[in-house]
Structure 1
Amino acid sequence: MSESEKPEVVLEKPGDSGVPAPKNVRVVLLGLMIAMLLAMLDNMIVGTAMPTIVGELGGLNHLSWVVTAYALATAASTPLWGKFGDMFGRKGVFMSSIVLFLIGSALSGMAQDMGQLIAFRGVQGLGAGGLIVGVMAIIGDLIPPRERGKYQGMMAAVMAVAMIGGPLVGGTITDHLGWRWAFYINLPLGAVALFMISAVLHLPKKRTKTKVDYLGALLLTTGITSLVLVTSWGGLEYEWASGTIIGLAVLGVVSLVAFVFVETRAAEPIIPLRIFRNRNFSLMNIIGFLVGFSMFGAITFLPLFQQSVQGASATNSGLLLLPMLLSMMVISLFAGRYTTQTGKYKVLPITGGALMVTGLYLLSTMDTETSRFESGVYMAVLGAGMGFLMQITMLIAQNSVEMRDMGSGSSTVTLTRTIGGSFGVSLMGSLFSSAVTETLTARVGPAGDKVAAQLDKASMARLDPQMKSAYFHAVADGTHQVFFWGAMLAILAFAASWLVKEIPLRGAGPEKKAESAPAEPAAAQA
């Protein structure tokens, strides 16, 4: 790299470390949690409003694209936001992502047809890609890893609030204010987050003369988009063996291989490949992928089992996951406190991996006789496993990269977890559908194919007792397949956790205070 290409870091004020005074840290974190809530809450609220949206705008055939456009834009932009934060300064880039998300929210609320809504959801997704990774990277800048554990409970609580409250809030807003307010509700929350971050957050202001790696960005975006489409369309829109799915898979793989080749030669790569030389970082990406795979699969199919087989109400679907989410939140808080007090962490992913395998296996044993209490206990075990893993994977990953790569490292872990969730929902969905159809056909003959498409409670109520019993057994069999293979895959996460090397967390021990400030200014001076 030539002298003129070397990044130049400029502090906002001479000698300013960029760290807010202790009394302001909690205010900054509150603003960050609101921004994180925006990204997590949005899909939950919008999902509840979708039937009303389709009723007004039409376009039922394009319904899936309302979700797919958002997911694609989020996944494709996540690594770019992380890298831009490393290059141009975390605060400005993060605030830009919030503004873009709010613009997309306002436009989505004003959409006049399904085409406009899909396009505006894409804009919203582009902003959402920077929200979660921005929160993680800024926390990585502000708080040393040794101290970061105590704030894990806050992030777990935000996730639980979004997953439990999202469907309830979405239904209430849609019924009383109209579906457009499912998007407009983001505006006041986003404004509060912007004000708090603008007024209180102070980080080193950067300026870089290095050219942006546009070719790498294009190849990475193409690869991610292709793979997300494969997981979104495979087995639903197109057969897995269709030319479209195979073509997208080939395009995705070729694009990512070309991306790796380009990154080895780029002056400022979007994802610096050097970060994968650290064993712990690579392991956290593997574990994060598997946790995303299992978590989103569980969230998708557990309510379906409880509504269909156990007769629970769909209105309170978010509450059905309460045992899992509360367990995850409590354990995440405990794990954070443990890490802060002891500085040790290797036991956490090992314990989490073991509990995740156990929880998924227990869920695979559910049948038509399983009570809600039993399924709640099983969910709590799985939630405990995820509580040990969800935040610790990010903490270990951030502790494994240099401060200059904090954004890229955070976005990479976030991306692998997102891709894992996408694969999980898609592949588990295929397993579930195949098992349901196979069981129904075996019990009631060819008529089972028609019943397999009727997954709503109202349709089931009209079936005769024999057909209804066959359907309940089919859903139980599908659930067994989903969680059994999820448990088999989770064994890989458990095995990977044993390979983690326990390296002292930055900010630990007697020199904690001296190490609490971000290292980027010092690195720049060096």
Structure 2
Amino acid sequence: MSQTAETPPEAAPQRSVRVVLLGLMIAMLLAMLDNMIIGTAMPTIVGELGGLNHLSWVVTAYTLATAASTPIWGKLGDMYGRKGIFMTSIVLFLAGSALSGLSQSMDQLIAFRAIQGLGAGGLIVGVMAIIGDLIPPRERGKYQGMMAGVMALAMIGGPLVGGTITDNWGWRWSFYINLPLGAVALAMIYIVLHLPKKRVQARIDYLGAGLLTVGITALVLLTTWGGTQYGWASAQIIGLLVLGVVAIAAFIWAETRAKEPVMPLHIFRNRNFSLISLIGFLVGFVMFGAMTFLPLYQQTVQGASATNSGLLLLPMLLAMMVVSLIAGRVTTQSGRYKIFPIIGGGLITVGLYLLSTMDTGTTRFMSGVYMAVLGAGMGFLMQITMLVAQNSVEMKDIGVGSSSATLFRTIGGSFGVSLFGALFTHHVQSTMTELGGSAGSKAIGAGAQLDPARIAHLPAEVRDAYLHAVSNGTHTVFLWGAVISIVGFVAAWFVKEIPLRGAPQAPGDDKADQDDAPEALHPVEAI
């Protein structure tokens, strides 16, 4: 590959950088808010379009496309320039949103959601990589609170906004609402964002991209269908497992021979990057599992309103946002960060264990305290993992480094929801059979979940059995989550504290940890 070297542009005014960051945060909000809004609108969508048996594919198509395209967007940004590739992903996401709103059948909606997911794969990766270009790692910590705030806003506001839009304007506006937000983000980024232009002569690694897409798709489908649509020992699941393993093995082989690999394997030679990728995978695994089953427990066992499901998570989300902001500030001022993954891993383990102790008598206050502990742990890890990942690769690999870290978290979330879902369903069914007898088995014959309206009309014995079943199911999910999170806690102890780029070095620092430190390249100084 040949590339023309250009000197970085002069530092942009702080006001311009803030405008760029605002545009980036809007783009990130688009990706995070979408699934939260759509989840609330799905019952209405199914009622109008039909196709209840295809309901899961509305989410799966989006998730698959996002996961498969994530590393490709990162590599394209490294090769052809971050700004144009990022704006392309926004346009693709908006096109998918508009088409989804125009859908006339469930099949069309699934196809258009896949287009939306392709664009979403570039949104979060683009945000992280552009921030990596603009702001040195030493200064990047103070912007973590902003990103955590966007995540909290999406998780809290998404269900409320989705319900309001669906009730007053119709479900199609759940997709159309993305268009004005996306237009604002596009305008801000087009006008204000200035990055070095790249001219490259290189072939895209189509073989690697294809093999990676096949491998990711097979593994995501395996965890999505396993134990639900197909048995774990079924030919379909075993076939997906074999296909996924073979495709990933072939991908690794292809990447060792590609001139411009879509995911350069040399980035995994850095111990910090490999460890932080593992930790990110586990964070996604337990976080998305918790986000899925906490509202179910509170709505079913504690009798909370489904309309306020976003507000039920407020203790966890506020703790995550505040702790992330504090950790970012401390990192910026001290340059120290190793302690945060260790504390975060410990708090996540404790928080999940506390949540596993909840039963039918646990008060909302106590469950809120337990969620706050879990949220604090996630706050120590959510952005620090990306910071360490970006600091562990050379600047020319910042895109693939960001996309790889995002990919591991995404895959972890997919695995977590699917595997926890299988555990939850099994324990709910077994408990209902044990406590409710034939009446209990019949009550959940169509599935392991009942909405609050149906629960209220169940016979008293069956209703009590179902509350205990859900409590038992969430106990199992969170207990296993605590056990799995121990791996992340242990891995955090082995992360080496490499000086952050952009940080003033003390005498002797230039000799420390050279084996793990990436090549000293300077990011674009924007502030």
**Shorter-chain TM band:** over 0.9
Aligned counterpart for 1:98 among listed residues 86, 90, 100: 90
3-state SS, counterpart of residue 362 of structure 2? coil
Aligned equivalents of 1:230, 1:407: Cα separation in 2: 28
- 5 Å matches for 1:458-497? 458-497=453-492
Aligned equivalents of 1:324, 1:114: Cα separation in 2: 34
2:509 aligned residue? none
Deviates more, 1:233-242 or 1:251-260: 233-242
1:58 aligns with 2:45: no
Question: What letter corresponds to residue 368 of structure 1 in structure 2?
Answer: T
Deviates more, 1:266-275 or 1:112-121: 112-121
Contact kept? 2:136, 2:523, Cα under 8 Å: no
- 5 Å matches for 1:22-41? 22-41=14-33
- 5 Å matches for 1:70-81? 70-81=62-73
Aligned equivalents of 1:24, 1:496: Cα separation in 2: 39
Question: What letter corresponds to residue 58 of structure 1 in structure 2?
Answer: G
Aligned counterpart for 2:345 among listed residues 353, 367, 370: 353
Question: What letter corresponds to residue 358 of structure 2 in structure 1?
Answer: M
Gaps in structure 1 of 5+ consecutive residues:
1-5, 512-516
Q: CA deviation at 1:510?
A: 6.6
Aligned equivalents of 1:275, 1:510: Cα separation in 2: 24
Contact kept? 1:18, 1:518, Cα under 8 Å: no
Question: What letter corresponds to residue 469 of structure 1 in structure 2?
Answer: D
TM-score, normalised with respect to structure 1: 0.95
Aligned pairs, number: 509
1:415 aligned residue? 407
1:270 aligns with 2:262: yes
3-state SS, counterpart of residue 493 of structure 1? helix
Deviates more, 1:465-474 or 1:372-381: 465-474
Q: CA deviation at 1:384?
A: 0.2
3-state SS, counterpart of residue 201 of structure 2? coil
Q: CA deviation at 1:9?
A: 3.2
Residues 296-329 of structure 1 show CA distances to partners (whole Å, capped at 9, x for unaligned) of 0000000111111111111111111000000000
Aligned equivalents of 2:524, 2:184: Cα separation in 1: 29
1:218 aligns with 2:210: yes
Contact kept? 1:108, 1:120, Cα under 8 Å: yes
Pair 1:334–1:85, CA change in 2 (3 A)? same
Q: CA deviation at 1:450?
A: 2.5
1:300 aligned residue? 292
1:503 aligned residue? 498
2:513 aligned residue? none
Q: CA deviation at 1:175?
A: 1.0
1:319 aligned residue? 311
Contact kept? 1:141, 1:518, Cα under 8 Å: no
Question: What letter corresponds to residue 195 of structure 1 in structure 2?
Answer: A
Aligned equivalents of 2:522, 2:378: Cα separation in 1: 31
Question: What letter corresponds to residue 456 of structure 2 in structure 1?
Answer: A
Contact kept? 1:352, 1:386, Cα under 8 Å: yes
Gaps in structure 2 of 5+ consecutive residues:
507-519
1:402 aligned residue? 394
Aligned equivalents of 1:295, 1:237: Cα separation in 2: 24
2:511 aligned residue? none
% identical aligned pairs: 72
Contact kept? 1:20, 1:200, Cα under 8 Å: no
Aligned equivalents of 2:8, 2:274: Cα separation in 1: 33
3-state SS, counterpart of residue 370 of structure 1? coil
Contact kept? 1:292, 1:420, Cα under 8 Å: yes
Aligned equivalents of 1:76, 1:499: Cα separation in 2: 30
Q: CA deviation at 1:444?
A: 2.2
Contact kept? 2:69, 2:213, Cα under 8 Å: yes
Aligned equivalents of 2:464, 2:9: Cα separation in 1: 66
Aligned equivalents of 2:274, 2:351: Cα separation in 1: 25
1:434 aligned residue? 426
Aligned counterpart for 1:208 among listed residues 200, 203, 210: 200
Question: What letter corresponds to residue 392 of structure 1 in structure 2?
Answer: I
Large movers: runs of 4+ above 6 Å: none
Q: Cα RMSD between the aligned structures?
A: 1.5
Aligned counterpart for 1:519 among listed residues 488, 502, 522: 522
1:389 aligns with 2:381: yes
Residues 44-95 of structure 1 show CA distances to partners (whole Å, capped at 9, x for unaligned) of 1111111111111111111111111111100000000000000000001000
Aligned equivalents of 1:19, 1:400: Cα separation in 2: 24
Contact kept? 1:108, 1:117, Cα under 8 Å: yes
Q: CA deviation at 1:448?
A: 2.3
Pair 1:502–1:212, CA change in 2 (3 A)? same
Aligned equivalents of 2:5, 2:82: Cα separation in 1: 13
Residues 141-167 of structure 1 show CA distances to partners (whole Å, capped at 9, x for unaligned) of 100011000000000000000001001
Aligned equivalents of 1:481, 1:19: Cα separation in 2: 53
Q: CA deviation at 1:518?
A: 7.0
Pair 1:139–1:521, CA change in 2 (3 A)? closer
- 5 Å matches for 1:58-457? 58-452=50-444, 453=447, 454-457=449-452
Q: CA deviation at 1:521?
A: 8.8
1:7 aligned residue? 2
Q: CA deviation at 1:451?
A: 2.6
Contact kept? 1:18, 1:203, Cα under 8 Å: no
Question: What letter corresponds to residue 21 of structure 2 in structure 1?
Answer: L
3-state SS, counterpart of residue 178 of structure 1? coil
TM-score, normalised with respect to structure 2: 0.95
Question: What letter corresponds to residue 335 of structure 1 in structure 2?
Answer: A
Q: CA deviation at 1:440?
A: 1.6
3-state SS, counterpart of residue 171 of structure 2? coil
1:514 aligned residue? none
Aligned equivalents of 1:19, 1:66: Cα separation in 2: 44
